[in-house]
Chain A
Amino acid sequence: MGFAKRLFVDFFYFLQSCKSYRQARRFVYNFLENERSKAKKYFDLFMMFLILVSVVTLIREVKHPVDESFLFFNYYVISIIFFIEYLLRLWVVSSVSDVIVSRYENDVATGQEFRFFMACREVAALKLRHIFSLKAIIDLVAILPFFHQLRLLRIFTLFRVFKLFRYAKTFQTFASVFRAKRFEFITLFIFSSIVIVISSVLIYVMEANNPASPVNTLFEAFYWSIVTIATVGYGDIVPITEGGRIVAVFVIVAGIAVLAFTTSLVVSAFNEKLDEVRETKILNNLTSKKRYYILCGYENIAKEVAKKLSKSEHGVLILDEDAHRIEEARKEGFEALNYDPGSIESYHKLRLDLHAQVKAVLCLRESDVENVYTALTVRAISKDIFILSLLNQHANRKKLEFAGANEILYDKEIVGMVSREFIGQPVAFEAIHALRSEYSYINIEEVVLTQRILERFATVGELHATRFRVVLLGIYKKEHERFYFNPIDSTFLEEGDCLLLIANTVFIEEFVKYLNKR
């Protein structure tokens, strides 16, 4: 391989391994293309604002004088911003270094000489594909008002509006609806075109020779046909011959049919797309929240759990393969997806980092078969994620344990224990039940000790919980995994310890504020 080629390949190897280059590229990519990036949202809003400024200036300029500096901003600054954006998109849309390095390694692996021109052709093909894409053409046209001295090019400011398609998701959805029904729309277009052409020719033939008729040219006939088939009917051109009026009747009937067909087509397309739109919206929203509980199934117990968990600081996401149940969950205001919780693909589609963003997966189907399957699926994806499962038949407990569930709840056993305690110690039972109940004013709360709290309090005695009318039931020492009931005053507090406090909710809040005060 020649020296120049060697240098060329080395340069791209360098780029590929250069951390700052990759970081810069990633940064630009997040701004321009990454749908999950917050930066892109702000960037899109900024660009939409610039477009708005451009259009307002164009309208204002028609009849009123506009300040020179404002025009300068409109024609030069905005155009330059758009141009920089155009170049940056061209840069990040595909990686030149990846293509060159991959081609080089391919050639070396197959024992060939590095095909420099082939590599350049691949790069050019990728970039040209982008340049000739509709979005890139619109981007380019939007820059043209820079040459506003040519009056015609000034009108291109209006084309900047088309750039909104790039920034506003609603427009993209709208476009995708039409894409989905492309075949039907093409059929409708062909039908309408045929009707327009035939009726134009017919009306011309019928009317053109009549001196009293307003239809004198083929263009006028064509104009009349379009106005009539669109059911607009300005009335500036009307047929006066009998033949022309018969043609008009047919065109009017065809127009009604075209209008009805178009309306039903658009409505049905939107209906079909609605689920997809909702799904995309939920998936996009997922990234903004911090951590999630994933509820697999939306049956009786799951409904109640979802309702209660919705009050927590974490998000709730429901997955169920049954469309009716998902619809029900959505009506209740939950983020719900019609995904099979037993399929690995469902979790990939979520684009969630299961380790960082999922607090727990809850298998809440009323079928042990489904719960075992889901638990096994989730465990296959992540070994660390917390899985809680409902057990419906006692005989299946071991299967759920084997599938990897961390916590198993057998509702019949719970009912048995509740019955026993209620009958044995009804007052104590009611007291504990009240502590657990969200409707009771007395509550039990966990307060985890942080470094900030420990700066002021070293021992239990220093907390002075009774002064705040708070009962300190005990301390759970995380390090020893042990609960110390009613700890003595000299007990040392450590970071991560969990205080169990019982009191009126307001008193607990006051006490926690006091603990965190500097």
Chain B
Amino acid sequence: MQRTNGLIFGYNDYAKEIARNIDKKYKRVTLFALKGEEHAAEESKYPLCFFDLSDEWEELQKEYDMAQTVAFCALEDDAQNIFLTISLRATFKELTIVALAKSKESGNKLMMAGADKVIPLVQTTADMIVDLLERPVASNILHGILYEKSNLKIVQIEVQDENYFHGQYPADIDWSRNHGIIVLSVIHQGKAGEFIYSSKAKHHVITRGDIFVVVGYDEDLKAFEKLIGSRMA
């Protein structure tokens, strides 16, 4: 799912933070400010375009490969954000759309409008606060792992060489002792992810194309990756 272009719609603090976080992962990051926000041109550190909600979006296709592009809809007004999402989805079927929602209600509408992922602003922050208070250790560790602030990493590894496992079940392997890693979940081709010890995972033989969600130190992960396949990131 590696993409090369990031298009961020809206010129506000959320958009700036998204740009700052993704600019190392994308070859090209472009901000789109609404017409009327001309002051953005002087401030922006990223290439900036202006748009109107009534714009026709086909033009974008000339500049960006939509299959390799992610659009972040980060307009402050929920109604405008929904309108933008629906406009982009109507024009580009293959574009990945991530949209920000202020409330649960607008989150549902954004999903209906065709967003691939909705980030509920209030809920995400509230979850983080509650985690910090109620499970401080777990929260810090997971935060460190997910946002690469510790040596521990979480990666997805796809099985390329199924012979290595000789028809074993995921729960039968002592991953931590044999490989120094912890497998959290396994995704069998075309199915939803299952926790490593779930009944479904226990009755499914490891096959080529399965994806493991693995936590470990970089060296162990690389060694494991060599054994079974390629890392996806």
Is B one of A's binding partners?
Answer: yes
Question: What is A's interface to B at a CB cutoff of 8 Å?
Answer: 293, 300-301, 303-305, 307-309, 312, 359-360, 362, 364, 388, 390, 393-394, 407, 409, 411-432, 434-437, 442, 444-446, 466, 469-471, 473-474, 476, 483, 485-486, 498, 500, 502-504, 507
Are A431 and B184 touching (Cβ within 8 A)? yes
Complex Cα–Cα for A483 and B137 (A): 9
Picked from A411, A418, A471, the residue with its CB within 8 Å of the CB of B197 is A471
25 contacts between A and B (CB under 8 A): A300-B122, A308-B126, A308-B130, A312-B130, A360-B133, A411-B121, A414-B125, A415-B18, A416-B19, A416-B20, A417-B146, A419-B119, A422-B117, A423-B25, A427-B187, A427-B211, A431-B184, A431-B193, A432-B154, A445-B138, A483-B137, A483-B150, A485-B152, A500-B137, A502-B195
Q: Which of B116-148 contact A (CB under 8 A)?
A: 117, 119, 121-139, 141-142, 145-147
Complex Cα–Cα for A485 and B137 (A): 12
Complex Cα–Cα for A388 and B197 (A): 36
Which residues in A have their C-beta under 8 angstroms from that of B127? 308, 436-437
Complex Cα–Cα for A504 and B195 (A): 8
How close is B152's CB to chain A, nearest CB, in angstroms?
6
Which residues in A have their C-beta under 8 angstroms from that of B147? 417, 420-421
Which residues in A have their C-beta under 8 angstroms from that of B217? 485
Selecting from B37-45, B48-56, B57-65, B175-183, the interface stretch reads: B175-183
Are B129 and A388 touching (Cβ within 8 A)? yes
Which residues in B have their C-beta under 8 angstroms from that of A431? 154, 184-185, 193, 213
Complex Cα–Cα for A300 and B125 (A): 10
Which residues in A have their C-beta under 8 angstroms from that of B182? 471, 473, 485-486
Picked from B21, B122, B126, B195, the residue with its CB within 8 Å of the CB of A420 is B21
Which residues in A have their C-beta under 8 angstroms from that of B20? 416
Known: A301-B125, A407-B132, A412-B17. A432 touches B176 (CB 8 A): no
B11 at the binding interface (Cβ < 8 Å): no
Which residues in B have their C-beta under 8 angstroms from that of A415? 14, 17-18, 100, 119, 121, 124
Are A423 and B155 touching (Cβ within 8 A)? no
B198 at the binding interface (Cβ < 8 Å): yes
Picked from A423, A429, A442, the residue with its CB within 8 Å of the CB of B22 is A423
Are B126 and A418 touching (Cβ within 8 A)? no
Picked from A362, A364, A504, the residue with its CB within 8 Å of the CB of B198 is A504
Complex Cα–Cα for A55 and B25 (A): 83
Closest 6 CB pairs of A and B: A416-B17, A304-B126, A416-B21, A469-B197, A420-B21, A411-B125
Point out which of A415, A444, A473 has the most chain B C-beta atoms below 10 A from its C-beta. A415
How close is A36's CB to chain B, nearest CB, in angstroms?
27
Which residues in A have their C-beta under 8 angstroms from that of B154? 425, 428, 431-432
Complex Cα–Cα for A425 and B19 (A): 17
How close is B78's CB to chain A, nearest CB, in angstroms?
12
Q: How large is the interface on B (under 10, 10 to 19, 20 to 34, 35 or more residues)?
A: 35 or more
Known: A362-B129, A409-B125. A500 touches B138 (CB 8 A): yes
B70 at the binding interface (Cβ < 8 Å): yes
Are B17 and A422 touching (Cβ within 8 A)? no
Which residues in A have their C-beta under 8 angstroms from that of B17? 412-413, 415-416
Point out which of B21, B117, B126, B129 has the most chain A C-beta atoms below 10 A from its C-beta. B129
Complex Cα–Cα for A370 and B71 (A): 35
How close is A297's CB to chain B, nearest CB, in angstroms?
13
Complex Cα–Cα for A502 and B25 (A): 30
How close is A353's CB to chain B, nearest CB, in angstroms?
19
Complex Cα–Cα for A175 and B90 (A): 68
Q: Which of B210-233 contact A (CB under 8 A)?
A: 211, 213, 215-217, 232-233
B208 at the binding interface (Cβ < 8 Å): no
Known: A428-B155, A446-B137. A422 touches B98 (CB 8 A): yes
Which residues in B have their C-beta under 8 angstroms from that of A500? 137-138, 141
Known: A360-B133, A431-B193, A476-B141. A419 touches B181 (CB 8 A): no
Q: Which of B1-46 contact A (CB under 8 A)?
A: 1, 3, 6, 13-14, 16-22, 25
How close is B212's CB to chain A, nearest CB, in angstroms?
9
Are A427 and B125 touching (Cβ within 8 A)? no
How close is A141's CB to chain B, nearest CB, in angstroms?
54
Complex Cα–Cα for A359 and B141 (A): 21
Which residues in B have their C-beta under 8 angstroms from that of A428? 146, 154-156, 213
Are B1 and A423 touching (Cβ within 8 A)? yes
The contact string, 1 if C-beta is below 8 Å from chain A, for chain B 139-179, is 10110011100101011100000000000000100101000
B196 at the binding interface (Cβ < 8 Å): yes
Which residues in A have their C-beta under 8 angstroms from that of B121? 411, 415
Task: Give the nearest-CB partner of A313 in chain B.
Answer: B134
Which residues in A have their C-beta under 8 angstroms from that of B141? 473-474, 476, 483, 500
Picked from B117, B123, B142, B176, the residue with its CB within 8 Å of the CB of A304 is B123
Q: Which of B77-131 contact A (CB under 8 A)?
A: 96, 98, 100, 102, 117, 119, 121-131
Task: Give the nearest-CB partner of A306 in chain B.
Answer: B126
Task: Give the nearest-CB partner of A407 in chain B.
Answer: B132
Are A388 and B133 touching (Cβ within 8 A)? yes
How close is A24's CB to chain B, nearest CB, in angstroms?
42
How close is B172's CB to chain A, nearest CB, in angstroms?
11
Known: A304-B123, A429-B146, A476-B141. A423 touches B211 (CB 8 A): no
Picked from A293, A394, A507, the residue with its CB within 8 Å of the CB of B13 is A394
Which residues in B have their C-beta under 8 angstroms from that of A423? 1, 3, 6, 22, 25, 70, 96, 98
Known: A388-B133, A409-B128, A425-B233. A432 touches B142 (CB 8 A): yes
Are B72 and A419 touching (Cβ within 8 A)? yes
Complex Cα–Cα for A432 and B123 (A): 16
Picked from A300, A414, A437, A476, the residue with its CB within 8 Å of the CB of B128 is A414
Are A486 and B216 touching (Cβ within 8 A)? yes
Complex Cα–Cα for A503 and B201 (A): 13
Task: Give the nearest-CB partner of A426 in chain B.
Answer: B1
Are A305 and B195 touching (Cβ within 8 A)? no
Which residues in A have their C-beta under 8 angstroms from that of B100? 415
Complex Cα–Cα for A469 and B126 (A): 30
Which residues in B have their C-beta under 8 angstroms from that of A407? 132
How close is B14's CB to chain A, nearest CB, in angstroms?
5
Which residues in B have their C-beta under 8 angstroms from that of A427? 156, 187, 193, 211, 213, 232
Known: A415-B18, A427-B193. A498 touches B137 (CB 8 A): yes
